[in-house]
Structure 1
Amino acid sequence: MDDKQLETRLKKLKTTYNDMPARSNADKITKAIIKYKAKTKSFHFSYVASLIGVGMIAGVLIAGIFQQSQAPLDSPNDEPKKQEISLENKAQERNYEYKTFEELEDYFNKKVEDTTKRLGYDGFAASDLVLNVSDSL
């Protein structure tokens, strides 16, 4: 290949390279960057709005707490005296029956058996719950 041919080919290559359109347009890129920056500015607005909302809720709660603390407390002398109810009267009101220790132990054992049958789990009687109650009896 001659030097002339090489020079002519290089010139043609240079002219075709210069004539070729650019793949990226600088205007489009700058517009996209400006749009992106505008979106991020509006994104910060949501943070500000949520902080204002939290502040308002906290203000309402604090105001409620202060109102409760400023409310006058009833003095203990203003309350009517409650009638003292004997232990037997309480038992009658609530339909309690006094049972002996053996009756309570039998009742507990029956309940353990019933629960074992209902659950279908033979190891319930050996569970920590049952053993703790049995130990405390």
Structure 2
Amino acid sequence: MNSAPETDAVCAHHPQSEVLGRLLFAIRSSVLRTCQLDYWPAMSGGIVLEWFEGPTASEAREALMIDLVDRGSVELRTDDLVLEPDRFEHSGEDVVHMRVDDVPVEFRALDPVGWSAFVENNRAAMRHMIREMGQAGAA
């Protein structure tokens, strides 16, 4: 006899955990995968996702939605990402509030450099790493 609850029953009782898992799965192949990313449960019962020196929150949300549409993701549909007005009125480029399956989610970009600078910084870091690997191999 299996004492583990059905998956749907767990999701119904812990929607915050389900949404966090779906978001993190989607982020693995999104623009945020190389950012220093932190997340935690919010006091409101929602989720806060925060990153440093990456794209703005609105750019990240947009890219996440595009990635999901391009991949035909069933884990997180674009219909699930509904922008909502922020009750504290600080939504904008650096903070985006939305609901995913009725769970409030807040994207926060700390010191965002914007998408183009973020991509260029990653390219520069990769070029530097490749040069170092080449020098280490030649030694």
Pairwise TM-score range, normalised by the shorter structure: under 0.3
Relative to the length of structure 2, the TM-score reads 0.24
Q: Which has the higher helix share?
A: 1
Q: Which has the higher strand share?
A: 2
Relative to the length of structure 1, the TM-score reads 0.24
Q: Which has the larger radius of gyration?
A: 1
